[in-house]
Amino acid sequence: MKNSFIRTLTTLSFAFIIIVIGKWVIVAQNPITGEWKADTRTAKQESSGKIHLSFERKTDNGRNQNGNSYSFDELRGLTREQTQNGRVNFSIVREAGTIECEGTFTNGKGVGTFRFVPNTAFFDGMKSRGFDFEKSDSKHDDGPESRILAAAFLNVTTALADDLLSANFGKLDVDDLFKAAIFKVDSKYMVEMKNSGFPNLTFEDLVKGRIFKIDADYVRQVHEMGFSEKGFESLVKFRIFKVTPEFLGELKAAGLNDLDSEDIVKCRIFKIDADFVRKARSEDPKATIEDMVKMKIGVRKIKTI
């Protein structure tokens, strides 16, 4: 009886070890290591009180690099004074794991090696939320190790995942987590844009919106211009070429009415302002936007009445 119990306990213990090892193999089959460089001497770093760190590791596709500026509060074991001269050991602690660094600094420039220790509980938690770091549909992916390390570099958290999922935006993947962390996409912005007249936006649209600073207030301005039916891409074009209500009002005051979004963008591209419109129309009352573009680039001369 006793021997049977011991055999059973041993079997269960062995099974537990296999499960734990299995999880480790999934998270990181080999130690994730590489090299780091640092510089505190640029004008930007000196003025901000931060340090620029770049990390590089070899992959099957070549080299994977990540660079970012960090405050010294984020670097455990490193102070600004230590970046002048001498050996250092410091770490960056994230929910995804810990990046352990060692090396040397000379006059504000540092070099060394790093080792990443993943937090298996984080990746298990992410998988339970539908974000599987083992899988990716990207054609430019260096494998699970790169995704795991990227989660630490970008400080992807389970709180971010929960926040995005709360917006009920549809199926999201690990790449969406990275984009959300980089471009500051959160549930508030997702709901705001969905309720602004564009219920069918994709996550890529949201990223564009953040890049070009399109928010609900700008959408309202475009609605007031009368171009809400043109779709989200028109918003992006307007933002790229700095189309504002003031600019549109100036064109209308100069006699240009019933313009479509493409005409307005052309006016911005070719620097057709209200003064040029008045000049062109004074000499050719029937001049269209296409005519004015030709006048601007010298293909067509302004007619003399």
CB of 55 within 8 A of CB of 65?
yes
Burial class (CB within 10 angstroms; exposed 0-12, middle 13-18, buried 19+) of 263: middle
Mind listing the pLDDT tens digit of every residue in the chain (305 residues)?
A: 444 433 443 343 433 333 333 443 344 446 799 999 999 887 566 667 889 999 999 877 778 889 999 999 999 999 999 999 999 999 999 999 999 999 999 999 999 999 999 999 999 999 999 999 987 665 556 678 889 999 999 999 999 999 999 999 989 999 999 999 999 999 999 999 999 888 889 999 999 999 999 999 988 888 887 775 668 888 899 999 998 888 988 988 898 887 888 899 999 999 999 999 999 998 888 899 999 999 998 876 655 54
Q: Which residues pair with 102 in a beta bridge?
A: 89, 113
Helices (H), 49-157: 120-128, 144-153
Q: How far apart are CA 305 and CA 292, in angstroms?
A: 16
Q: Domain residue spans in the chain?
A: 216-297
3-state secondary structure of 113: strand
**Per residue in 128-157, is it b (16+ CB within 10 Å) or e — as a string?**
eeebbbeebeeeeebebbbbbbbbbbbebb
Burial class (CB within 10 angstroms; exposed 0-12, middle 13-18, buried 19+) of 163: middle
Is the whole-model pTM more than 0.95?
no
Length of the chain counted residue by residue = 305
